[in-house]
Amino acid sequence: MAAQQKFVYSFTEGNKDLKDLLGGKGANLAEMTNLGLPVPPGFTITTEACKVFLETGSEPASLHKEISEHLDSLEQQMGKQLGQPDNPLLVSVRSGAKFSMPGMMDTVLNIGLSDASVTGLAAQSGNERFAWDSYRRLVQMFGKTVLGVEGELFEEALDEAKQAKGTANDLDLTTEDLRKLVETFKAIVLRETGREFPQEPREQMDLAIHAVFHSWNGDRARLYRRQERIPNDLGTAVNICSMVFGNLGEDSGTGVAFTRDPSTGAVGVYGDYLSNAQGEDVVAGIRNTLPLAELEKLDKKSYDELMAIMHKLELHYRDLCDIEFTIERGKLWMLQTRIGKRTAAAAFRIAVQLVDQGLIDLDEALQRVTGGQLAQLMFPRFAADETAKRVAWGIAASPGAAVGKVVFDSYTAVKWSRSGEKVILVRRETNPDDLDGMIAAEGILTSRGGKTSHAAVVARGMGKTCVCGAEELEVDTKRRRFTTADGQVVEEGDLVSIDGSTGKVYLGEVPVVPSPVVEYFEGTLHAGADVQGGLVQAVHRLMSHADVRRRLAVRANADNAEDAGRARRYGGQGIGLCRTEHMFLGEERRKEVEHLILADNDKDRETALSALLPLQKGDFVELFQAMDGLPVTVRLLDPPLHEFLPDITELSVRVALAEARKDPNENDLRLLQAVHRLHEQNPMLGLRGVRLGLVIPGLFGMQVRAIAEAAAERRLAGGDPRPEVMIPLVGTVQELELVRDECERVLAEVASSTGVTLDIKLGTMIELPRAAVTAGQIAEAAEFFSFGTNDLTQTVWGFSRDDVEASFFTAYLEKGIFGVSPFETIDRDGVGSLVKHAVEAGRATRPDLKLGVCGEHGGDPESVHFFHEVGLDYVSCSPFRIPVARLEAGRAALETAGSDSR
C-alpha cells in the first residue's frame, strides 16, 4: 500500500533545499532550527496542500488531522494550549511561497486571542495594555485578510481614537482606549460581514490557513508573479509559528536586518528596528524606524547575538541574507531569513566580494547576476546641477534617476502612464494594494518607512527607483499634494526628480548623464577606475568571465559605421543584420528610389539602379572598414516599396492643390498613380523581401554588386572584409535558388573585373512558418540561416504587431494569456518549436550550416538562453543590448553545463 502523502512538516523536519515543498519561509525556518538558532517552534503546511485546495475547493482529507497532531505537539512543547483562557498559546499564520513575494500574500498574527483569552494574556504577560493591543491587531488583521472587510474602515476607527486622544502615536492609546477600539473593530466586522468575530481559536486558525491559500490567487499576487515571471502553479506554503512579542514594552521590539547593504552591496550593519512594536509596523513603514545600529545602545546583549547570527547565516548561505527578528523582553528570536533582494549595483558588487572572500567561485558569481540587472546599470543618472532645487532628502532605498509628474494613488499612476505620461507615485507609505501604481510609475517617493519598508523591498525587486522616509514632506493624499519643509506646495501633475542613489528629491526636471557602466563599455572609463564603490570593476570582472564561458557569439544589428563602431566597443563580434533599406533614406536617395519605382522600361530601371549603386557601395565600404575582420550580414531590400513613397494623403492634397492652380506636377501625378498601384491591404504579407528581387529585375543584383565591389575595394586597400548576403522572407527553396543564381553571377563578374577572390556566403532569413517547416530543403541552397523572430512571431501568431500591442495586448497580459509579450521574449512552445525544428532539419541537410537570430529577441535575456539551448551560433541585437546578450550567453552556458552534470 502506498504511503499517505504528508502535508505538514515540523520546523525540525525540513531544510533550505525543500523550497518547492515548504516554500522559502518554511524551508529557511527549518534550516535555522537545524543550525540551532533561536526560532519559535512551529510547523509548515506544504505547497502541495495549497494546490489541492485551489484545485478542488477543499483541503486534503488528511490535512485537518495532520494539523491537529502538530498543534498538539506544539502545545506540549510550549506548555499551553491554543487560546486557552488562563494561559493562551498564540500563533501566527504566514504565507511563504518558493519565491519571495513581499507583502503580496496574507499573514495573520495573534491567532488564539478572544474575549476569553485576552485577560489570560494580560495576566500571563503582566501587561494589560499589551494584551488589548494584540487583540486589536488580530481583529483588524483577521477582519481585513480573512473576512474581506475594507481595511480603511479599521484605519479610520484607529485614527478617530487617536484624534480623540489628541495624539498621532499608537503608543499613546491607553488600555481602556484599546479595549473600546476592539469593540469598535468587532462591530465593524459584524456590520460588514453579518457574523460575529470568531471566538473559537481553532476556527480562527483554519479560516486563516484557507485565507492564505486563497491569497495565492489574489489580484496583487497574480500581478506580482506576472511582473517577476513567477509560475502560477507553484502554490504557497503556510507557516504556523508560536507567537513571540515585540510589543511587550521598551525591552521588546522588532526589526529587519541585512547582512550587507541591499542598495550598494557595502559590508556593514544595515536594517531597521522599532521598540515596542510588532513586525508589520516595520515593514508597513507606519512608524519611522531606528537604524539597526541604534539597537546596540538599547540592548547590547541582543545586538551582539544578532550580529553573530547574521555572520553565521551569511557564511552558511554564502550570500546576502535578509533577516526578520523580534526581541521579547530581552530574548532574541529569529522569525525569518532568506536570500535578500538587492539592487542591480549591489548584485554585481556582492557577487565579486563573495568571490574575493573565497565563498563562491566566478562561475557562481556570474549566475548570481542577470542581464536585466546589467541593463539597469546602463540607465543614465542625474548630473550635478547647482540650479536644481532640492526639497527633501530621504533614504536611498532603490537607485536610479527618475523624473515624472507627481500622482498620489495607484489608479492615477496607471491611468496617466497608459496615456504616455511619466509619473512619480507619492505616498505616506505604500502597501500591497499599491502594486499596480508602483509598476506603472517611473519611481516611488514616500514620507515614511526605511530601507526595509514595503516600498523599498518591492522597488528593489522590480529595479524601480525609490526614495523612502522623506520626513520633510507632508503628504496629503486627499488634497492630492505634498508640502515641503519650507512651505512650498507641490500639486498633482507637478514635475519632480528623485535620486534613488542619494535619497535626494528635486523640484522640476534634473538633467541626466551617462552611467559609468556605459562609459566603461564606450571605452571612456578604464575598467580599473574606482567608481561608485568598485561597480565598474565588478562589471568588468563578470563580463570578462561571461566571455570566457559563453559559446554563443554576439553580433549587432547595425546599418552604418557609427553603430558598427559602437557595437565593437560594446563587445560585438560582427554585424548580424544590416538593413539596406535604411541606406535608401534621405532626400537624394529617396528621389533615386522614386525613379526606380516609376521606371516603366528596362532603360529607365537600369538608369535608376546605376544611380543607386555607388551610393550603396560607399555605405558598404564604410561599414566593412568599421567592422574589419568581422562578419557583416547584409540583408537585401525587405520592406514594401510604398514605404519609400510620399504619404498618400499628403500627396493627394499636393496634387489637388496643383490642379486647382491649373499647374499640375507631372512627377507628383506619376507618384500618386504609383502609390495607388502599390497599395496593398496587408503590405507586410505582400510584395516585399525576396518577392521584390524576383519581380524587379536587377534590384538584388545591384545590391550584391555594391557589396562585392565594396569588399574588393577594402581588400585591395589591405582590409579584411567579411560580408555575407542574406535574402529575406524566403518561403520556398525555389525562390532562394533563383536569387542565388543571380547573386553568384554578379559575384563572379566582380571577382573577374577586380581580380579579387571573394568568399561571400549566401544565406536566408527564416521568418515564415513555411520556411521553418521546410528548412531541410532550403538548407540545400543556403550556407546560413538567420531567424527573423519579429516576423516569425507575427506570422505564427497571426498578429500585426503595430496593431495588436496597442489594441488588446494589455488585456491578454492582465488575463494571463501571456506571461510576457511574445515580441519581447521568445514563445518557446510555438515560435520556439519552429526554430528548433528548423535548426535540426537545416543541419541534417548541411551539417556546417551557420545559425543565428537577428530579431529583437537576440538581446532578450530569457530568449538568449533558449537560443543557446537549441544550438544557434550567434545572436544579434542592437548595439546597446550587446553587453546584456554577452552576459546572458555566459550564464546560459553555465546553466546548460550545470543541468548536464546533474
Cα angle 228, 230, 235; round to 5: 140
Per-residue CA distances from 211 to 12, 56, 278, 663 (Å)? 25, 15, 21, 78
Q: Which of 758, 742, 748, 763 is nearest to 698 (CA)?
A: 742
* Rounded CA separation 24/18 (Å): 8
* Rounded CA separation 477/492 (Å): 10
How would you label 683-711 residue by residue, b for 16+ Cβ within 10 Å and e otherwise? Answer: ebeeebbbbbbbebebbbbbbbbbbbbbb
Q: Which of 581, 484, 499, 521 is nearest to 887 (CA)?
A: 521
Q: Bridge partners of 272?
A: 256, 291
| 3-class SS of residue 98 | coil
* Rounded CA separation 879/723 (Å): 19
Q: Where are the alpha helices (DSSP H) in 357-429?
A: 362-367, 371-377, 410-418
**Strands 389-393, 504-507: parallel, antiparallel or unpaired by DSSP?**
antiparallel
Ranges assigned E (strand) in 221-361: 236-242, 253-260, 267-275, 290-291, 321-328, 331-339
Locate cell 538593413: which residue? 579
| 3-class SS of residue 524 | coil
Q: Bridge partners of 92?
A: 241
Residue among 454, 857, 865, 868 flagged as catalytic: 454
Active site residue 854: yes
Q: What's the grid cell of residue 344? A: 542591480
**Strands 236-242, 91-97: parallel, antiparallel or unpaired by DSSP?**
antiparallel
Residue among 466, 854, 865, 877 flagged as catalytic: 854
* Rounded CA separation 629/625 (Å): 9
* Rounded CA separation 540/542 (Å): 6
* Rounded CA separation 408/427 (Å): 6
Per-residue CA distances from 523 to 15, 567, 901 (Å)? 47, 12, 38
Ranges assigned E (strand) in 814-853: 850-853
DSSP string, 586-614: SHHHHHHHHHHHH--SHHHHHHHHHHHHH
Q: What's the grid cell of residue 185? A: 473593530
Locate cell 543614465: which residue? 380
Active site residue 241: no
Q: What's the grid cell of residue 888? A: 546572458
* Rounded CA separation 820/835 (Å): 19
Active site residues: 454, 854
